[in-house]
Structure 1
Amino acid sequence: MNFGGQTPTVVVLKEGTDTSQGRGQIISNINACLAIQDTLKPTLGPLGSDILIVDGRGKTTISNDGATILKLLDVVHPAAQILVDISRAQDAEVGDGTTSVTIIAGELLKESKAFIEEGISSHVVAKGYRKAVSLAVERVRELSVKIDKSNSSEEEYRELLERCARTAMSSKLINNNSDFFVKMVVDAVLSLDQDDLNENLIGIKKIAGGGIEESQFINGVAFKKTFSYAGFEQQPKKFTNPKVLCLNVELELKAEKDNAEVRVEKVDDYQAIVDAEWQIILNKLKLIEETGANIVLSKLPIGDLATQYFADRNIFCAGRVASEDMDRVISAVGGSIQSTPTDIKPEHLGTCEYFEEVQIGSERYNIFKGCPEAKTCTLLLRGGAEQVIAEVERSLHDAIMIVKRAVQNNEVVAGGGAVEMEISKYLRDYSKKIAGKEQLIISAFAKALEVIPRQLSENAGFDGTDLLNKLRMAHAKGEQWCGIDFQAETIGDNFEKFIWEPALVKINAFSSATEAAILVLSVDETIKNKESAAPNAGMAPPPGRGRGIPR
């Protein structure tokens, strides 16, 4: 077929599909990531500011936690979404450093932008970054100081964990109350089973009202009073050394219509059915009473008949206990959850030294203390506003995760920008020993790491350029732990000042940030499919509809 010498147009993608590619696309993706970085920069460090976010439903959140901010921001750019993902991954893996990882990733992209504009292939930049991050991680491992638990007393080991928790809290809302919360966080982590350190067994309950320092640490379990029926008021609210029975059994009369259809010929037959139903539940209650339990908890409802039955026999009961609360009760008091009231043996019951139902603020809480199996604890957080309590919870989560990592990986490094400056100096020295483009790229990686001390200084209102020059000079002389000293408004040895962080936080941050930067650089084409129209869009209405014709 002759097209008159012209090449025919081949349509591969659906009409309306948006495609963009090449160097311009890489730079566009970098700019999107830098916009995310600019949002988070002011929140870094002890003197970083908070961000107030209002979502579509009008709910307000005040936070300076990187992962929380990025989760609440409605990020639509696909490349910028990568930074959101690495921040969440850092939060899940380590618990802290979520802002740092995003800022470092953004700075690596910023440094690479000049190379891309000059025509250097993104693969060459990626190769240089991979080399640089492997050297950086290796160097952090060399620098890290191992704290040997076996060679230190219990007080010294606890002090180490408190220092790590204090550093994690330094940039949070609770910084001014850190002495109070540091003890709470370390107690919480040490109360867990030291083999698996499952942080889900640390219950955090938020109770509005009161001051922040009215928060309590319960070495046991506390949960909010569940829904209760009439007769509950007559039950005892305090026990010493009680027997605790945990059930997954519904103790409530069932309406006949829910279960079966019964045909009766005489009134006596109907009465026999009602009596049988009552007898079934009374038999269950009698079996529970015979176990000798003083406290009966169930995941399923405990109805008014059962509540009154237990009240008459001085037994405390609570139905509809949340699954996570029940799991923590079992971890604390011992025993096991029973799915039937028959054949309950003494070993199936748990115990504790003291149980009480108390009023805390406007809520009533059931508290189990002095638990023999205590592999769990509860933090009762107080505060004047819901937003304040929510931010306290996020701050404590970060500190708990840091202490947990310090227990598992007992290698620490100095914070306050000290590690970043030392790695930067090390990579800069290394780059001078090699030739070619890789020298420039590794040097750019070294420069990117300086963003952390520079931003820490600027957020604190210090002269960033002046302090950065002082830090470069100090590290050139071999002062490897020299970082920003916020108290003296200059530089100082942060290891001596006990500004410690687990080495794992830094290793994870450098690795994740570099992976994200390389991923963004490797994308040089974006294809965006046009949204499909509604199935009936553009179709003519059926005859007799919408045309003024009566049906």
Structure 2
Amino acid sequence: MSFGGQTPTIVVLKEGTDQSQGRGQILSNINACLGVQGVIKSTLGPYGSDVLLVDGNGRPTVTNDDNSSADYTSRATVMKLLDIVHPAARILTDIARSQDAEVGDGTTSVVVLACEILKEVREHVENGVSSRIVITGLRRASNMAVNKIKEIAVSTSEGNQRETLRKLAATAMSSKLIHRNSDFFTKMVVDAVLSLDQDDLNEKLIGIKKVSGGALQESLFVNGVAFKKTFSYAGFEQQPKSFDNPKIVCLNVELELKSEKDNAEVRVEQVSEYQAIVDAEWQIIYNKLEALHKTGAKVVLSKLPIGDLATQYFADRDIFCAGRVASDDMERVCQATGASVQSTCSDIHPTHLGTCERFDERQIGGERFNFFEGCPQAKTCTLVLRGGAEQFIAEVERSLHDAIMVVKRAIKNQTIVAGGGACEMEISAYLHRFADKNIPHKQQSIIKSFAKALEIIPRQLCDNAGFDATDLLNRLRVEHRKGNTWAGIDFVHESVTNNLDAFVWEPALVKVNAIQAATEAACLILSVDETITNQESEQPQAPRRGLPPGAAQRALRGRGRGMPRR
């Protein structure tokens, strides 16, 4: 229906909605991602800088690691603490998280590479090339790059596995604060991963404990379980703190005298009846303790509190107890000793008990730790980290996590490539040759843009180390044109060398996953040409009837989001 020959205006979105679309929106998204790249690219490589980040609570974090894994509590890292608000740039946080979850290393590389791909194809978008054509070209180049990596990767199935894994771990640590102590920590990391069940390699069974004070070299590898002394009651110090071949019982039972008046209402008419109730309360706890004593266990652990009565009871019978043991520590004790968690004290059989060769309580720095060593089913271990500052130890933990994940993936996927930009330069040279010979149409320039974007890795490695990037990249191009597949940056002599012979190794899976994740992120950002932002929640409401001017706005500012109106 027409009104006076004019089509009526139809309002679909609410007033105040911000709507941006078209080529300008794509370019805006690309520029936002390049802003993120500018922040983190200086952290790449063995000479990358660290970043000091301060969260909303004023807590500082010193790191050059931008994975955002949730495996460790408070794993605060660059991409997480930047608190990116631009919706397109937040995709970079997602690919850093996926790279960390899948491989555990290369999180900086994947973000830098994704941004560089967008930077190289920005010219095509500005010239009016359809984003669909650009995306098709990028995906084709990505598939070719992945196939090339699989073709040139070197198998490590033969030779000394332990030495190979140590070299891979050392490369993963080369850009971390602990690279000067890499010989010490690579042995620790490889021992930790090889102590796990080789079928599933669950890295969560590697416990990491942090104790402030001391030197890095005082860090310990425990082939078993160690956890900090738990909260204790009177009588704890009278308990023995060392056993040989003890039986261990693990509980999910509260061993504390509980007054039944908290759980039930009891009416009595005589004092003797009240005394019977009190005696029953004591009898309940004593029956539990006697049942535990009869099992022959010398170490009693529980996830729930063990009160002063039970603590003194065990001390009188030369039994060690610890209550409020963390769930992950309890799980690792069960995994190592063969015990199983019991929810009752009255039906514990010998098969439910665990054992170890040696249990003792030792002082480490200012903390006391319980050690379970020589465990018969030790499919778990513990790393006790020492260091001068809390932030430094936290960074050591993040560095070890990356190395552990690299070693884990290398055991499952026994192929490696050379690092130091060698792999990226070889793929770049291959894509340039392929595009010149086999692709005559407009996708040729897109594939060449992808190939050029790969050079950001060796270029940034040079920039961060203070080298002449232009000179070294030209020398690398010449070497790869001659057929020197593994020519990469030599950080010791500021030159070019064969990084495979120099033992600068990385799992091929790191490179494959980084290229795939970076390409998918770039394609996703290029495919978004419209952003709709609903501003309704930010609009101040009009004053309600009966309120003085400005009262509604003051009420809105004073009311927390999600709280009901009065």
Superposition TM-score, scaled by structure 2 size: 0.94
Match of 1:123 in 2: 132
Within the candidate set 435, 440, 444, 2:440 is matched to 435
Q: Whole-Å Cα distance in 2 between the matches of residues 537 and 193 of structure 1?
A: 64
Q: Taking structure 1 as reference, are residues 255 and 534 closer, same or farther at Cα in structure 2, changes over 3 Å only?
A: farther
**How far does residue 448 in structure 1 lie from its aligned partner after superposition?**
0.3
Match of 1:101 in 2: 110
Q: Whole-Å Cα distance in 2 between the matches of residues 517 and 120 of structure 1?
A: 16
Within the candidate set 135, 143, 153, 1:144 is matched to 153
Match of 1:470 in 2: 475
Q: Whole-Å Cα distance in 1 between the matches of residues 462 and 538 of structure 2?
A: 52
The letter of the residue matching 1:81 is R
State which drifts further: 409-418 or 344-353.
Answer: 344-353
Matched, 1:8 2:21: no
Q: Whole-Å Cα distance in 2 between the matches of residues 345 and 47 of structure 1?
A: 57
Q: Taking structure 1 as reference, are residues 135 and 241 closer, same or farther at Cα in structure 2, changes over 3 Å only?
A: same
Match of 1:110 in 2: 119
- For residues 241-252 of structure 1, the aligned pairs below 5 Å read 241-252=245-256
Matched, 1:383 2:387: yes
**1:270-296: CA deviations, max 9, x gaps?**
111111111111011111000000000
Q: Whole-Å Cα distance in 1 between the matches of residues 479 and 538 of structure 2?
A: 63
The letter of the residue matching 1:421 is M
Matched, 1:374 2:383: no
Match of 1:456 in 2: 461
CA-atom RMSD, angstroms? 1.5
Match of 2:71 in 1: none
Give 3-state SS (helix, strand or coil) of 1:239's partner: strand
Q: Whole-Å Cα distance in 2 between the matches of residues 405 and 538 of structure 1?
A: 61
Match of 1:59 in 2: 59
Matched, 1:496 2:505: no
Question: Are the equivalent residues in 1 in contact too, given 2:50–2:62 (CA < 8 A)?
Answer: yes
Q: Taking structure 1 as reference, are residues 533 and 424 closer, same or farther at Cα in structure 2, changes over 3 Å only?
A: closer
**How far does residue 533 in structure 1 lie from its aligned partner after superposition?**
6.0
**How far does residue 268 in structure 1 lie from its aligned partner after superposition?**
1.2
Question: Are the equivalent residues in 1 in contact too, given 2:149–2:427 (CA < 8 A)?
Answer: yes
- For residues 102-501 of structure 1, the aligned pairs below 5 Å read 102-148=111-157, 151-152=158-159, 156-433=160-437, 434-501=439-506
Q: Whole-Å Cα distance in 2 between the matches of residues 25 and 113 of structure 1?
A: 12
**How far does residue 125 in structure 1 lie from its aligned partner after superposition?**
0.5
Q: Whole-Å Cα distance in 1 between the matches of residues 433 and 135 of structure 2?
A: 20
State which drifts further: 186-195 or 263-272.
Answer: 263-272
**1:419-465: CA deviations, max 9, x gaps?**
00000000000001211111100011000000000000010000000
**1:94-150: CA deviations, max 9, x gaps?**
0000000000000000011000011111110000001000000000000111111xx
Give 3-state SS (helix, strand or coil) of 1:335's partner: coil
Matched, 1:89 2:93: no
**How far does residue 537 in structure 1 lie from its aligned partner after superposition?**
5.4
Q: Whole-Å Cα distance in 2 between the matches of residues 362 and 267 of structure 1?
A: 51
Match of 1:527 in 2: 532
Q: Taking structure 1 as reference, are residues 278 and 504 closer, same or farther at Cα in structure 2, changes over 3 Å only?
A: same
Superposition TM-score, scaled by structure 1 size: 0.96
**How far does residue 8 in structure 1 lie from its aligned partner after superposition?**
2.3
Q: Whole-Å Cα distance in 2 between the matches of residues 468 and 165 of structure 1?
A: 26
Match of 2:34 in 1: 34
The letter of the residue matching 1:231 is G
Question: Are the equivalent residues in 1 in contact too, given 2:256–2:285 (CA < 8 A)?
Answer: yes
Q: Taking structure 1 as reference, are residues 542 and 463 closer, same or farther at Cα in structure 2, changes over 3 Å only?
A: closer
Question: Are the equivalent residues in 1 in contact too, given 2:362–2:370 (CA < 8 A)?
Answer: yes
**How far does residue 267 in structure 1 lie from its aligned partner after superposition?**
1.1
Q: Gaps (5+ residues) in structure 2? A: 68-76, 553-566
The letter of the residue matching 1:505 is V
**1:284-333: CA deviations, max 9, x gaps?**
11110000000000111111111000000000000110110000000111
**1:505-540: CA deviations, max 9, x gaps?**
000000000000000000111111113368975322
Give 3-state SS (helix, strand or coil) of 1:264's partner: coil
The letter of the residue matching 1:384 is G
Q: Whole-Å Cα distance in 1 between the matches of residues 114 and 32 of structure 2?
A: 12
Q: Whole-Å Cα distance in 2 between the matches of residues 444 and 2 of structure 1?
A: 51
**1:462-485: CA deviations, max 9, x gaps?**
000000000000000000000001
Q: Whole-Å Cα distance in 2 between the matches of residues 349 and 261 of structure 1?
A: 37
Give 3-state SS (helix, strand or coil) of 1:207's partner: strand
State which drifts further: 161-170 or 62-71.
Answer: 62-71
Q: Whole-Å Cα distance in 1 between the matches of residues 171 and 256 of structure 2?
A: 52
The letter of the residue matching 1:531 is E
Q: Whole-Å Cα distance in 1 between the matches of residues 466 and 539 of structure 2?
A: 54
Within the candidate set 89, 99, 108, 1:80 is matched to 89
Q: Whole-Å Cα distance in 1 between the matches of residues 345 and 138 of structure 2?
A: 63
Q: Whole-Å Cα distance in 2 between the matches of residues 365 and 13 of structure 1?
A: 61
**How far does residue 250 in structure 1 lie from its aligned partner after superposition?**
1.0
Match of 2:562 in 1: none
Q: Whole-Å Cα distance in 1 between the matches of residues 106 and 363 of structure 2?
A: 37
**How far does residue 362 in structure 1 lie from its aligned partner after superposition?**
1.1
**How far does residue 183 in structure 1 lie from its aligned partner after superposition?**
0.4
Q: Taking structure 1 as reference, are residues 528 and 184 closer, same or farther at Cα in structure 2, changes over 3 Å only?
A: same
Match of 2:511 in 1: 506
Give 3-state SS (helix, strand or coil) of 1:532's partner: helix
Question: Are the equivalent residues in 1 in contact too, given 2:333–2:339 (CA < 8 A)?
Answer: no
Q: Whole-Å Cα distance in 2 between the matches of residues 352 and 4 of structure 1?
A: 92
Match of 2:563 in 1: none
Q: Whole-Å Cα distance in 1 between the matches of residues 402 and 2 of structure 2?
A: 70
State which drifts further: 111-120 or 3-12.
Answer: 3-12
Give 3-state SS (helix, strand or coil) of 2:537's partner: coil
